[in-house]
Structures are given as structure tokens and as C-alpha cells.
């Protein structure tokens, strides 16, 4: 069961992190996620960390890496559900997750993704993915 599932919801992907992220699991998530983005053509990735009570520099780096990789693959990442205590600790530790969008919950995260997606389409003067 050593694999974090990636759920497809329309044009977005959802990842819920529930377990301790050790190196191997984090690497595997990055691999799986990039593959899934390429496979599905997803335009957004939502990472739910509501069950994490601790976000250390390792997890912070993993999240930032995922965001960067997704961006290269033309998908926007948003981290949702951060516990208030986690936010406090992150800032106190100087880990402010640069380059990672955040939202309070899944619904709000969805809005953020839709918003950035709409903006991207507008800036390019048209829909790059006509269906």
C-alpha cells in the first residue's frame, strides 16, 4: 500500500496526503503525479494536507518540487487544508512555501485553480485545449 493515490476530478488531480512522507514515498508521488499529468492532460493539481500535523522542511521541499514539476507540465498546483498550527510553524521556521498556491479547503482550491486557468486562457487569447 506504499503509494499515495492520485484521484482525477474532471480536469484536475487530487492528492490527499495522510501518511508520513519518507523519501521513497515522496519520490514515488512525484513520479506518479508527473506521469498522471502527462497521461490525463490535467491543468491543475490539488494537494490536501489537512491530516498533516507537522510539515517540516522535507515535506515543504516536496510540495515546492511538485508545484515546480507541475508548472513545467502546464498544470497549476494548490495546497489545501493546512491546519492553522502548521501555518504558524511553517512561518516560524522560515518555510513559506515559495511558488506554492494555497487555499483553505478543496472547494476554495477548486476556485483558485479555475481562476488561474481562466486567466491563462485569457492571456493567450484563446483556449489551448479546445474540446
Residues engaged in binding its own copies (CB under 8 A): 1, 3-5, 7-10, 14, 16, 18-20, 48, 50-53, 81, 105-107, 110
CB of 26 to its own copies, least distance (A): 14
CB of 111 to its own copies, least distance (A): 11
Element (H, E) at 30: helix 23-40
CB of 63 to its own copies, least distance (A): 16
Rank residues 3 and 24 by Cβ distance to its own copies and give the closer one.
Answer: 3
Rank residues 10 and 96 by Cβ distance to its own copies and give the closer one.
Answer: 10
Could you say which DSSP state residue 3 is in?
S
Rank residues 9 and 38 by Cβ distance to its own copies and give the closer one.
Answer: 9
Cell 495546497: give the residue: 79
**126 Cβ neighbours under 8 A, 6+ residues apart:** none
CB of 51 to its own copies, least distance (A): 4
Rank residues 7 and 118 by Cβ distance to its own copies and give the closer one.
Answer: 7
Instruction: List the alpha helices (DSSP H) in 5-105.
Output: 23-40, 57-72, 84-92
The rounded distance, in Å, linking the Cα atoms of 51 and 37 is 24
The rounded distance, in Å, linking the Cα atoms of 63 and 22 is 13
Amino acid at each position: 500500500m506504499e503509494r499515495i493515490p492520485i484521484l482525477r476530478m474532471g480536469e484536475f488531480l487530487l492528492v490527499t496526503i495522510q501518511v508520513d512522507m519518507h523519501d521513497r514515498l515522496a519520490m514515488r508521488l512525484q513520479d506518479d503525479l508527473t506521469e498522471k499529468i502527462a497521461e490525463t492532460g490535467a491543468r491543475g493539481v490539488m494537494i490536501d494536507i489537512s491530516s498533516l500535523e507537522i510539515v517540516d522542511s522535507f515535506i515543504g521541499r516536496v510540495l515546492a518540487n511538485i508545484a515546480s514539476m507541475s508548472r513545467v507540465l502546464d498544470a497549476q498546483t494548490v495546497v489545501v487544508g493546512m491546519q492553522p498550527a502548521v501555518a504558524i510553524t511553517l512561518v516560524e521556521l522560515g518555510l513559506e512555501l515559495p511558488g506554492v498556491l494555497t487555499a483553505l479547503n478543496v472547494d476554495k482550491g477548486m476556485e483558485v485553480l479555475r481562476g488561474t486557468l481562466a486567466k491563462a486562457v485569457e492571456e493567450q487569447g484563446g483556449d489551448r485545449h479546445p474540446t
